[in-house]
Amino acid sequence: MKIVGVNTDLSAWILDKPETGRKFPKTGKSFPKSGITFPKTVDTQYKNKNSIKRSSSENSDESSDARLKKFLSTHPEAAVYTPSGAKWGSAEDLETAKWISSRVKLINPTCKAPDMTSWSNTVRLMRQIDNRSHQDICALYDWASKHHFWQTNILSPESLRKQWDKLTMQRNAGGEQRAVKPDLDFNNTDWAYGVIR
């Protein structure tokens, strides 16, 4: 009968792993055939993170004015936009963003002024990608700003867009807005009917 147990000899646990990667000769040694010594740094072998050139507006062939003209010709309805053109919105998007901002100020007067370009961009995305009208956006935000829970959680078009489905379901379910609770009647014993027979 063979007894099986835990191997307590730790040296048996360590496996010899083959070395991976490229092997270079040590610095100062010469190459076998040419006799040229190996350099101290090997910058040519691998790309240095500092040597990678990134494309930026300074290096691009296209000037910022030309990019702006191209952006505006592509999006003539843009009333507000970032210099890169990554975020933009129409005049109606900007008005909707300003309206939401004014409503947020009513809820929290100490909140900082929002980035209207970013907010307008989010409103535009709700319109173009999510197929929602400005009226739909304003109506849902109006409902959320009066709701006991959502009024402190929906403080931007981005959070409105993110929670749109939940908000719509709760609004359509009705009765979610906090109603006035009836006063507690301590003399009411209706709860006891059927308990005691």
145 lies in some domain: yes
194 lies in some domain: no
Tokens at 61, concatenated: 């062939």
125 lies in some domain: yes
176 has pLDDT over 50: no
Q: Say which DSSP state 1 is in.
A: -
Residues contacting 39, CB < 8 A, separation 6+ = 27
d(CA 172, CA 58): 52
Number of domains in the chain: 1
Contact 161, 130 (CB under 8 A): yes
Tokens at 130, concatenated: 């999510």
Find the mean pLDDT for residues 156-184. Answer: 82
More confident of the two residues 30 and 141: 141
pLDDT digits (tens, 9 = 90+) for 38-79: 565 555 445 555 555 554 545 555 677 888 889 889 999 999
Tokens at 190, concatenated: 């209706």
**pTM, whole model, 2 decimals?**
0.58
The whole-number pLDDT of residue 64 equals 77
192 lies in some domain: no
d(CA 160, CA 130): 12
φ, ψ for residue 148, nearest 5 deg: -60, -35
92 lies in some domain: yes
d(CA 115, CA 153): 18
14 lies in some domain: no
pLDDT digits (tens, 9 = 90+) for 133-156: 999 999 999 999 999 999 999 999
d(CA 154, CA 12): 61
Closest to 101 (Cα-Cα) out of 85, 122, 84, 125: 122
End-to-end C-alpha distance for the chain, whole angstroms: 73
139 lies in some domain: yes
Confidence of residue 20 (pLDDT cuts 50, 70, 90): low
131: left (phi over 0), alpha (psi -120 to 50) or beta: left
Contact 88, 117 (CB under 8 A): yes
Tokens at 163, concatenated: 């929670």
Of the given ranges (53-67, 74-88, 180-194), which has the lowest mean pLDDT?
Answer: 53-67
Tokens at 169, concatenated: 């379901």
Structural domain for 71, as ranges: 64-173
Residue 136 CB coordination number (10 Å): 15
113 lies in some domain: yes
Confidence of residue 102 (pLDDT cuts 50, 70, 90): very high
